[in-house]
Amino acid sequence: MTTRFVALGDSFTEGVGDDDPTCPNGVRGWADRTAEVLARHEPDLGYANLAVRGRLLRDVLAEQVGPALELRPTLVTLYAGGNDLMRPKIDLDALAEAYDDAVGALAASGASVVLFTRVDGVEDPLFRRMRGRTAIYNEHVRLIAARHGAHLVDMWAMRVLRDRRMWAADRIHLNHNGHTAIAIAVLDELGVSHDVDPVDLGPREPVDRRQQRAQTLRWAREHAAPWVRRRLRGESSGDAVTPKRPELSPVGRIG
């Protein structure tokens, strides 16, 4: 029985991209949506979300795993490493060892653990360059999940996530459509019945090269450049952000 659900991670789990001013931190996201469905089955469900945008993998593990264990969760979701993959240099093997230790501790607590592979960015010029390191990261996650008996949501295999209409304007975070797709995938992996319907986006409209260039230039000016400036200043988007749900609390209707 899932009575205590704790979500750990970075912006993906916090819900960035799925804007909702009525929710804590101004975002909703797949974890909130998942908790809502779980609460319909178990009205006494307590839900905490410790995720903070911008966190690197080691930050997530150092700041969130201990507090999560103190909450004695029966279900834990964990995603971390996406921000590391965007750094110029990365030791994937060392990060995987740290990740493995953390998942081992969570699993040893008796909680069911859900892990995630990273999306295949083959159709995006920026993320296509990261495809090799992403594939290695994903193999590590698959092995860790198998070793500790964790559930695995394989976002790499979710071809629908290659559609840009599933993503926010920054091309880094999922939008409402994308977060809904992840909530469905998590619930399906857990074997939880639900009535969450996938978004039917219909066929993609063709975009010519001139439009593509204009869109890319706008994205570079409005999103890529500020990201680079933060990196150069040693800043993070989450420096002034705190967890949206630091304690277990009833779910009800979030947002």
67-118 pLDDT tens trace? 999 999 999 999 999 999 988 899 999 999 999 999 999 999 999 999 999 9
Q: What is the pLDDT of residues 182-226, one digit of tens each?
A: 999 999 999 999 999 988 887 777 766 776 666 666 655 655 556
pLDDT for 129: 86
The residue range of the domain holding 62 is 4-198
Predicted confidence band of residue 230 (pLDDT cuts 50, 70, 90): low
- Torsion over CA of 5, 9, 15 and 16, rounded to 10 degrees? 170
The verdict on 86 and 150 lying in the same domain is yes
Residue 141 scores a pLDDT above 50: yes
The verdict on 194 and 212 lying in the same domain is no
The verdict on 192 and 215 lying in the same domain is no
The verdict on 219 and 194 lying in the same domain is no
- Torsion over CA of 47, 113, 176 and 81, rounded to 10 degrees? 120
Say if 90 falls within a structural domain: yes
Residue 140 scores a pLDDT above 80: yes
The verdict on 221 and 128 lying in the same domain is no
91: tokens are 């030791």
Residue 58 scores a pLDDT above 90: yes
Give 249: exposed, middle or buried? Use CB within 10 Å, 0-12, 13-18, 19+: exposed
The verdict on 216 and 108 lying in the same domain is no
Mean pLDDT for all residues in the chain? 89
Q: 61-65, 145-149, 235-239 — which is least confidently predicted?
A: 235-239
Predicted confidence band of residue 241 (pLDDT cuts 50, 70, 90): confident
Say if 91 falls within a structural domain: yes
The verdict on 142 and 98 lying in the same domain is yes
Average pLDDT over residues 124-132: 83
Sign of CA dihedral 62, 64, 67, 70: negative
The verdict on 161 and 58 lying in the same domain is yes
The verdict on 111 and 153 lying in the same domain is yes
Residue 254 scores a pLDDT above 50: no
Buried/exposed code over 219-244 (b: 16+ C-beta within 10 A; e: otherwise): eeeeebeeeeeeeeeeebbbeebebb
- CATH number, domain of 94, equals 3.40.50.1110
Q: How far apart are CA 138 and CA 22, in angstroms?
A: 34
Q: How far apart are CA 81 and CA 134, in angstroms?
A: 10
Domain total for the chain? Answer: 2
pLDDT for 126: 73
Average pLDDT over residues 127-148: 94
The verdict on 227 and 140 lying in the same domain is no
**β pairing state of 75-79 and 4-9:** parallel
pLDDT for 240: 75
Tally Cβ neighbours within 10 Å of residue 190: 18
Residue 84 CA neighbour count, 13 Å, CB half? 22
CA-based nearest residue to 181, from 68, 23, 55, 17? 17
Say if 88 falls within a structural domain: yes
Say if 242 falls within a structural domain: no
- pTM value is 0.89
The verdict on 65 and 99 lying in the same domain is yes
The verdict on 133 and 218 lying in the same domain is no
In angstroms, what CA-CA distances link 30 with 20, 166, 239? 12, 13, 22
